[in-house]
Amino acid sequence: MRYEAPDVLKARIRASLADTREAPDQRALVPLQGGRAWPRMVAAAAVVAIVSSGLTFAALRERAPSNSTEQQVLASHIRSLIPGHLTDVASNNQHNVKPWFNGRVNMSPDVPRLDSLGFPLIGGRLDYIDGRNVAVVVYMRRQHVINVFSWPASGAPEQVAKSSSSNGYHLLRARHNGLDVWIVSDLNEAELKDFARLLMP
């Protein structure tokens, strides 16, 4: 069956088609008006891109640690939290952990037992910082991992640890017994400084 469209409907369709032919979309004419719109739009886009890039760079710089060694130590600490990466030698006995480093690094790290003071020894591992193998001794405080990085250092001893923070982690740095020592953890800063005082009396 076929139905004939009413004359009223035909008239409305013709009228609407005629309107669209006579009045093209004004938005399509914007780029053609003297060619001025395109340069303005390109300039505005460039300004937005430059400003947003600058803000992003500033935010990243503010969040990132201040030097390359600090970045490497922090990255190594975070990497160690992946299951199976925390220790190469797992032991709570300093007489197992300390000798394990012989022949693997050219120094002997301090491995005091601090279990009775609330910082049990977990073990040790080798890591790679600034182009050298370094010793890492691992302790715990409740559920918080504490990594103690150390390697030979030159310069006067610094008994007061320098502290910094990044991405929720606290880093303490000091020179002790001829070693450059970095301590990293998400443990609160006050307890981490207490740990540093016990580790480096």
Residue pLDDT, tens place only, 64-75: 445 689 999 999
Phi, psi of 21, rounded to the nearest 5 degrees? -70, -35
Angle at 127 between CA 122 and CA 133, to 5 degrees: 125
Short-list 80, 84, 112, CA closest to 98:
112
In tens, the pLDDT along 102-119 reads: 999 988 898 999 999 999
Question: What is the residue type of 39?
Answer: P
Q: How far is CA 101 from the centre of its chain?
A: 29
Phi, psi of 137, rounded to the nearest 5 degrees? -105, 135
* Bigger pLDDT: 48 vs 135: 135
Q: Is 80 exceeded by the pLDDT of residue 176?
A: yes
Q: Is 50 exceeded by the pLDDT of residue 120?
A: yes
Confidence of residue 158 (pLDDT cuts 50, 70, 90): low
- Residues forming beta bridges with residue 183, ordered by sequence position: 148, 172
Q: Is 60 exceeded by the pLDDT of residue 92?
A: yes
Phi, psi of 73, rounded to the nearest 5 degrees? -65, -45
Confidence of residue 97 (pLDDT cuts 50, 70, 90): very high
